Copies of this chain bind each other. A is one copy, B any other.
Amino acid sequence: MKVAKYSRVQPRFQVIKDAITQAIRERKYLPDDQIPTEYELAEKFKVSRMTANRAVRELVGEGLLVRHQGLGTFVAPIQVESPLLEIRNIADEIRERHNVYSNERYKLEKIRSNKKLADLLGIAVGEPVFYSLMVHKENGRPLQFAERYVNASLVPEYHRQDFSERTPSEYLSELFPLSEVEHVVEAVLPSQQEQELLDISADTPCLLVNRRTWSKNKLISYARLVHPGDRYRLGSRSKV
């Protein structure tokens, strides 16, 4: 029986990419370790060198590997970067970096808005608001302290959700197609609580992203996202 030569579930270069990615995630290859050469990969995976080359080249483009002509290919030293603008939630971001996402929920409750909150959410003082506090982790290490305030009259079921699998931002974006987003980025020092939950010292500068999201001109939520400055950066690159 002949097996069709080019019908596969996974392209061969993708198989190689996945294998390398997994090996790095399992720490079989550590940062700065050299990985097999293109010739070795080609032999191991029974592909041509061009196919191995594509796998490695794409992983370089994704920031997972670095190459030096004449020397070899190496696991990239750890670096974290995220495109601004794209409101992609932190979970996707971490998974795209080929790392393990997890989170912990500390609070999920209904409160009444004070003046400041009412202004931010465009509602009246005293209106009900859901408040959630979560910490999102990359490979078990806290990366984002996320407080979120949600207009309770628009999202009455928010507090009934279990956000262990689906993040608040995923839940909200399913319910309300995003139409507008606002970001304000600041540098701040962490509060006592932020220090503890992010496992950082009082003098670690943090990137604070204030994000407000709208759906069809309705202001849905305000999020206050605090990230340790020593392991989180925002990046963007664009043609003009």
Enumerate chain A interface residues (CB-CB to B < 8 A). 21, 25, 50, 61-62, 64, 79-87, 178-189, 203, 205-208, 227, 229, 233-240
Whether A61 contacts B61 by the Cβ 8 Å rule is: yes
Tell me the bound Cα distance from A185 to B80 in angstroms.
Answer: 11
Whether A186 contacts B229 by the Cβ 8 Å rule is: yes
Whether B207 contacts A187 by the Cβ 8 Å rule is: yes
The smallest beta-carbon distance between A223 and chain B, in angstroms, is 15
Tell me the bound Cα distance from A82 to B182 in angstroms.
Answer: 12
Q: Which residues of B contact A205 (CB under 8 A)?
A: 187-189, 205-206, 229
Kindly report how many copies of this chain are found in the complex they form together. 2
A233/B82 contact (C-beta < 8 A), A189-B205, A240-B178, A240-B179 known = no
Tell me the bound Cα distance from A82 to B235 in angstroms.
Answer: 10
Q: Which residues of B contact A85 (CB under 8 A)?
A: 80, 82-84, 236, 238, 240
**6 residue pairs bridging A and B, Cβ less than 8 Å apart:** A183-B236, A185-B234, A187-B205, A187-B229, A189-B203, A205-B206
The smallest beta-carbon distance between A49 and chain B, in angstroms, is 13
Tell me the bound Cα distance from A235 to B234 in angstroms.
Answer: 13
- Lowest 4 A-B CB distances belong to which pairs? A187-B229, A205-B205, A187-B205, A187-B187
Whether B188 contacts A235 by the Cβ 8 Å rule is: no
Q: Which residues of B contact A62 (CB under 8 A)?
A: 239
Whether A233 contacts B185 by the Cβ 8 Å rule is: yes
The smallest beta-carbon distance between A104 and chain B, in angstroms, is 22
